[in-house]
Amino acid sequence: MKPFLSSSLVALCLSVMLWAKPVTTTAITADGGATPASSGGASPATTAGQCRPGKTAPEHLGWRWRPGTTVKVYYLKDNFDEAESKALSLAVVNWNEALREIDADVAFIVAGERAGVVNDHASVTVMRGVPRVKERVGETRFYSLSNDTIRLTVTINPVVTDVKALTSLMTHELGHSLGLGDCYRCRRGTTAMTAFKSKNKGNDVYAPSACDKIAVASGYAGATDTQEARAGRKLSQENAR
C-alpha cells in the first residue's frame, strides 16, 4: 500500500474550521470529553461498537508513529504566554494519558521553547500564525524528509486566545498528529475532531474522548517497527501491514 508520507514535503493539512451552522445542542451523556477518563481504562460506558465513524468517532487515516517513539512538543519562543503554554500543555498531558491507557507505545513530551522550527525527527513545533486558509483556527502540517525524519508544525491562529479554546484546539491538532481525521459531522462532544463552535470557543472537548482513544488504538493495533501508513478507512478495520 502506498505510504501516506512517501515523499518529501507537506502531506497533510487539516484544521479546525469554524462551525458555521447553528449549534444544535444534543444531549451528550457519557464521556462528553470535557474531562479525562476518570478512573483509568476505557470509559465503561463506551465500547468500540458505540463509536461510529462520521457520527461519534473520527476515522484513523492510517498514519502512525513508529512504536517506541517519544514525540517532542516545542513552542516557538515568545509565541505563547505562560497561561497559553499551560493550556496547550494540558492537551499534551491528556493525550499522553490516553496513549498510556491504550498501550499505543508512543508518548508525547513537552520539550520547552525553541527559537525556530525544530527539524528533529518526531518533533512538533507549535506556533502562532495564520493558517493557509485563514478562516481556520489551527492547522497541522506534516513534513516528511528524505532521511526518514518526520516533523510537524501546528499553527495556532492568533484569534484563539481563550485558554479553554487553546486546550480544545491543541487536543484536536494532536489528534491529527496521531492519525485522526477531522469529523465535522460528528456529534458535538463525542470527539476532539469536530469543528469549533466559534473562533474562541473550542469544540466542547478538552481531552481525548473515549471514541478518540478507540480510534487511535485501532490505528496503532499491531504496530510494527516499520513506520508506515495504512489506509484504515474503518474504525473497526483490522490494520494490515
Q: Which residues bind Zn ion (CB under 5 A)?
A: 14-16, 182
Which strands form 138-144's sheet, in the order they lie side by side?
Answer: 10-16, 138-144, 150-156, 123-128, 70-76, 107-114
With respect to Zn ion, which residue has the nearer C-beta, 15 or 157? Answer: 15
With respect to Zn ion, which residue has the nearer C-beta, 42 or 125? Answer: 125
CB 235 within 8 A of CB 215: yes
Closest CA to 47 of 233, 213, 225, 234: 213
CB 206 within 8 A of CB 134: no
> C-beta of 182: minimal distance to Zn ion in Å?
4
> C-beta of 30: minimal distance to Zn ion in Å?
24
> C-beta of 226: minimal distance to Zn ion in Å?
26
With respect to Zn ion, which residue has the nearer C-beta, 15 or 191? Answer: 15
> C-beta of 195: minimal distance to Zn ion in Å?
8
Nearest residue to Zn ion on Cβ basis = 14
3-state secondary structure of 5: coil
Closest CA to 239 of 36, 37, 61: 61
> C-beta of 1: minimal distance to Zn ion in Å?
23
Please identify which residue in the block is written with the cell numbers 512538543: 73
With respect to Zn ion, which residue has the nearer C-beta, 55 or 114? Answer: 55
CB 29 within 8 A of CB 44: no
With respect to Zn ion, which residue has the nearer C-beta, 136 or 230? Answer: 136
